[in-house]
Chains A and B, each alone.
Chain A
Amino acid sequence: MEFLRRAANPWNQDVWIGISWDLMWAAVIGGLAFLVLHAVIAWRTPKAESTAVAETGDPAIPDRILRHSAASRAFHWLMSVTMFVLLITAFFPLVGIRFAWVTIHWIAGIGLILTIVYHVVYATMKQDLWSMWIGAKELKEGTQEVVGFLKRSPPATSSKPGKYPIDHKLYHNTTAVITLAAIATGVLMMVRVDTPFWARNPYLLSDQMWGIVYVVHGLSGVALIATIMAHIYFAVRPEKWWITLSMINGFIGKKEYLAHHDPKRWVVTPGPGARGGGAAPPKVTGGAAQSPKAVPQDKQSDRLT
């Protein structure tokens, strides 16, 4: 298998022109293999005893807890649309489904950028930016979990995450890095194609630099194939439906909250009208109790030290 597409430039110098599309198949196969493996292990692993925590919960905790605000959900779905458009436009032509893809691709790319900009701004201003931070303890717990999963021992119940479990955070952050790489390189690549924004200039960077840009874009592209496959897989796994559902209607139930989250790490306080299932979301904060710094309530992280 080749990893790179290379060519001789006009001066007969060896340059990279992109990744080998074998890697696309590798990502697809790798992604599938992961899913199958995971599914098989999960299927053969004894279910954890259902912990009866629900009743023991703080009565102040509302029955429905808002996990994703309407704005976050809108962001998620908009972003996923642009992402799918990007993936489809990038890879369908490579597997023989041909259409004029480049313009749709970069327009979707701009769509993606806009949603992400919105997301970042929103997350910084309104949400808890630190909720995606992965601390050392968490990392340890995460590793233990993976090892446990591979050993097919029942999930540990000793510690529970805050709002976002470690796998979500890892997923989110990996995807964020990959996507940002795709975006950064994609924006540069727009200089090579016809757009209304600037005159085409393939010589903006040296051949070598362009090679790197195309390779990074390609790599992030195929990496996204695998990550998104995994994402969808988990979204449709029955034990995660409650999360998937929350991305649709915004809420999780108190039961799921108590079962899957550490109320100390994800403190939920009822907001006005929460109990009545009103529109205003309950206040959701990070683990203020453990917070080493005196950060304002709504901006605190559930960072663990």
Chain B
Amino acid sequence: MAVIRDMIPAFDLFQPTSIEDAIDLLDQYGDDSWVFAGGMDSFDWMKDRIKRPTAVVDLGNIPELKGITSSDDGLEIGAMTTLTEVASNSDVTSRFGLLSQAAGLVATPQIRNQGTLGGNLSQDTRCWYYRAGWPCYRAGGNICYASAPLAMNREHCIFGADRCVAVNPSDTATALIALDAKMVVHSSKGEREVDAEDYFIGPGIDITRMTVLETGDILTTIRIPGTWAGAQFYFEKVEDRKSWDFALVSVASALVVNNGRIERARIAVNGVAPYPMRLDAVEAAVTGKPQNEETAEAAGDIAIRGASPLRHNDYKLPLMKNLVRRALREQAP
């Protein structure tokens, strides 16, 4: 059968108004269903007729999934809250500026108006081999085209490859890992809470998914504890252009510094592995160290230990190293 792209085939659209109804629909349609948030990733798949759900379940009419509320000492953000709101909400900007920075750097204002935090975290990779509809591992096939000897893999990973060498594209993911957020997932089996870091899975575990979400699961809430509120934050995203682009490498860090000494640190990078990568070794190495150039230098070196570049992405090593250094340097207030 011939291939045709960029033309959405028909599907049934459901717009439930409660989480329960949404879950019922997902259970009813199983693998033929599709959770639809802002559509900025979803539409791409549908337009290219690669993913062909028959039942699209739009979460846009479920009030509980929207908005930002304070809880205990932290925040709860509904998965359907737009990136624009996450970037501009005063609770977020004042206490968890790391997240608002990250959200504010996603794509463009139009995409941020439409794209949601939940969708941004749950989005699929942008590996162009995979997104061309080729039968690669991630698509259920038995090959990785992107790691072939002559493949175009400038955007691909330097860590965590397991047959698949794609990277996670989300900008908000690293920020939430650095903030030690929890993801709340609902399904017909009930509710579970997953650490931000564990929300993302590598290809070794399941090569066809980016997150723990399975059919019938809905990410409902992102909980940010107060632990890192007001810490010293750093977010930087390096991209080819200043808008529209996914990160080649991004870094998010939260540091608690006292008298020039790093007391606590959480740091994560994206664009280097099939999942946003928390840098435990760097965290361990800098904790208790003075925040200075020497610490930053060392951290950069530790960060890229064990990286294995592909043919065209060796540059990600110095890039990641330098970004990690920057994240640990003292920031101008």
Do A and B originate from a single complex? yes
Q: Does B163 contact A (CB under 8 A)?
A: yes
Q: What's the Cα separation between A201 and B135 when bound, in Å?
A: 16
B2–A192 contact, CB under 8 A? Answer: no
Q: A5-B140, A102-B163 are in contact. Are A10 and B204 (CB under 8 A)?
A: no
Q: Which of A30-38, A93-101, A257-265 contacts B (4 or more CB under 8 A)?
A: A93-101
Q: What's the Cα separation between A293 and B174 when bound, in Å?
A: 75
Q: A100-B204, A194-B163 are in contact. Are A8 and B3 (CB under 8 A)?
A: yes
Q: What's the Cα separation between A7 and B205 when bound, in Å?
A: 23
Residues in B with CB closer than 8 Å to A192 are: 142-144, 163
Interface residues of B: mostly helix, strand, loop or mixed? loop
Residues in B with CB closer than 8 Å to A290 are: none
Q: Please count how many residues in chain A sit with their CB below 8 Å of the partner chain's CB atoms.
A: 26
Q: Does A12 contact B (CB under 8 A)?
A: yes
Q: Which residue of A lies closest to B144 (CB)?
A: A202
Residues in A with CB closer than 8 Å to B162 are: 100, 102-103, 193-194
Q: How large is the interface on B (under 10, 10 to 19, 20 to 34, 35 or more residues)?
A: 20 to 34
Residues in B with CB closer than 8 Å to A194 are: 147, 161-163
A99–B140 contact, CB under 8 A? Answer: no
B202–A100 contact, CB under 8 A? Answer: yes
Residue from A7, A12, A98, A214 with most neighbouring chain B CB atoms (10 Å): A7
Interface 1/0s, chain A 200-212, versus B by CB < 8 A?
1111000000100
B132–A200 contact, CB under 8 A? Answer: no
B200 CB to closest chain A CB, in angstroms?
Answer: 14
B148–A201 contact, CB under 8 A? Answer: yes
Q: Which residue of A lies closest to B147 (CB)?
A: A200
A214–B142 contact, CB under 8 A? Answer: yes
Q: What's the Cα separation between A66 and B139 when bound, in Å?
A: 53
Q: Which residue of B lies closest to A192 (CB)?
A: B143
Tell me which of A8, A98, A200, A203 contacts B205 (CB under 8 A): A98
Q: What's the Cα separation between A17 and B147 when bound, in Å?
A: 18
Q: Does B29 contact A (CB under 8 A)?
A: no
B3–A99 contact, CB under 8 A? Answer: no
Q: What's the Cα separation between A98 and B207 when bound, in Å?
A: 10
A16 CB to closest chain B CB, in angstroms?
Answer: 9
Q: What's the Cα separation between A203 and B149 when bound, in Å?
A: 9
Q: Does B206 contact A (CB under 8 A)?
A: yes
Q: Does B141 contact A (CB under 8 A)?
A: yes
Q: What's the Cα separation between A18 and B140 when bound, in Å?
A: 10
Q: Which residue of A lies closest to B139 (CB)?
A: A7
Interface 1/0s, chain A 39-68, versus B by CB < 8 A?
000000000000000000000000000000
Interface 1/0s, chain A 178-218, versus B by CB < 8 A?
00000000000000111000011111000000100010000
What 17 additional pairs, Cβ within 8 angstroms, besides A5-B140, A193-B163? Answer: A9-B135, A10-B145, A15-B135, A93-B206, A98-B205, A100-B162, A100-B202, A102-B162, A102-B163, A103-B204, A193-B162, A199-B149, A200-B147, A200-B149, A201-B148, A202-B145, A202-B148
- What are 29 inter-chain pairs, A to B, with CB distance below 8 A? A5-B140, A7-B135, A8-B3, A10-B134, A12-B2, A17-B142, A18-B142, A93-B206, A98-B206, A99-B204, A99-B205, A100-B202, A101-B204, A102-B162, A102-B163, A102-B204, A192-B142, A192-B143, A192-B144, A192-B163, A193-B162, A193-B163, A194-B147, A194-B162, A194-B163, A200-B144, A200-B149, A201-B149, A202-B147
